[in-house]
Each structure stands twice: as structure tokens, then as C-alpha cells.
Structure 1
Amino acid sequence: MGELADRRGLETEVYEPAEDSRLLLEATASEIRDSDRVLEVGTGSGYVASELLSETDPIVIGSDINPHACRRAQERGVESVQADLVRPFRDTVFDVVLFNPPYLPRVEAAEMDDWMEEALTGGETGRAVIEPFIESVG
């Protein structure tokens, strides 16, 4: 188990909802219309996507690089795709793209083969995932 997962005391394969997940949901739920097509990048457990589906009637798809996360999101009723950021999707497919990115700076000794480290850390400065995402969605 990786250091960050140990500190959180949670399972190590899928990022479970935390305060940041709830804040993302609260900040966006009232802005999403029933007719919207929504992509949640880095869906993790599928919490945000599944809550959006239960509160409104948009089309919601989750994507995650982690195959365990995709399975967990599907268990919550979220259609999910194993993907790196937005790469497999065409630019105009979605009206709304949500992302709670990994932003913690990586500790040099961290095991990057650990899914929880992958979900929480964003490289040396914490921006290794955020910057490519911003470039890809404009």
C-alpha cells in the first residue's frame, strides 16, 4: 500500500469520495441541465457522476485511467470508459467536463505503481495532470 493511501486509511485501488468530491458536486449540480452531456474525468468511485444522475437527467459518462475505478463507477450505475484524461473523446461531444484532478506534489519515494498514489499525486509540482488537462479542454 502506498504512503498516501496508508495515511488516508482507505482502500488502495480506487479514490473514494472525500470533501473535495462533495464540493465538486455542490459547485456543479445546480449548473447542469437535463439536456447536458457530461463527462467526469477521473471519476474514481463514480460518486459525483452517480449523484448527478440521481439529481438531474443529463447524460453522464465517467472516465478514469484506473480500470478498478471504471468497474466501481459501473457498479454505481455510471457508464464509464478507461481513458487518459479526454483523449478518446471528440472535442464537441460534451457540454460539461468535470475533473477533480490529482494535485498533491509527489514524494520522491512514493510508489507510482500504486493506484492511490496515481489518484492523489500530480508529479513533482502537483501540476503534471492538471496542465495537460487544461491544454486538452482549452
Structure 2
Amino acid sequence: MGAYRYKVQKGGFGLFLGIAAEVTHLTDVPTPGAPVSNRVWLDASEVVNAFHGNRLVLNEREVAWLRAGLGQVAGDIERIETSAYILISVRALEIFEVNYAEEALAPAIAGWAAETFAFTPRNCTVSHDSTTGQFTLDWDE
């Protein structure tokens, strides 16, 4: 299992999120999780809070952000891995509750995947609208 910490600090905002996940190579369709691409699957059903050790139940939007980030790099993973299926199981998150933004899940899992599978990370520029409080992720493709 590998861990990755995503950090961005800009004038007016900052994001921090740690993620730990593991890779399982399978010959049959994974039973846990859901497909992100033809061969890459995501399982976020057994996640713990890395700071407190208690179980986290991610909501649909949080899982969607994980899927979005993993979807950005699924092609890179499939080019490197030869297994019929690659299951990415998120096991722990380091969440600072005072400034948690679920949008950070996407670049965090993409960064974890780049480090774990040893490919060039995708650049993701984050901006923040201070009026609405919304974050925008711009992936260089």
C-alpha cells in the first residue's frame, strides 16, 4: 500500500489531502468497487480516517471525485499494467476537517497513481472562486 499527500497553496486558499491506497491485479472482474475504465476499477468501501483510525463512509460526491481523478490517469495505468483488471482500493484519507474540500480527492488519487505506477503526473491547476467558494480543476491534457 502506498501513500501520497496532495498539497497546493495559493494566495487566498490551500488544499491538503493525504491518500493511501493499494493495487490488486486480477484476472476476473472485481467484485468490490466499480469500473473507472475498461480495466481500472475503484473500491472506496473500506476507508479509514488516517488521523483518528475510525471508519469513513464516503458520500457519492466524494467517490465521484475519486473516480474523476482516477479517470484522468486510467489510460496511463492501463498502458503500464498487463493484468486483465487493476483494482485500486482506497484504504485511508488524511482529511483536515477545518478546510476539507472534496474536490482535492481527484488530484490526490491521480498523484497517488502517478507515483505508484511510475508515470509522469498529469498537471492539474486548481483555482478557487472566493465569492462562491467553489474550486475548479483544470487538467492539462
Shorter-chain TM-score: what band? under 0.3
Higher RCO structure, 1 or 2 (CA under 8 Å, sep 6+): 2
Q: TM-score, normalised by structure 1?
A: 0.26
Write 1 or 2 for the structure with the bigger share of strand.
2
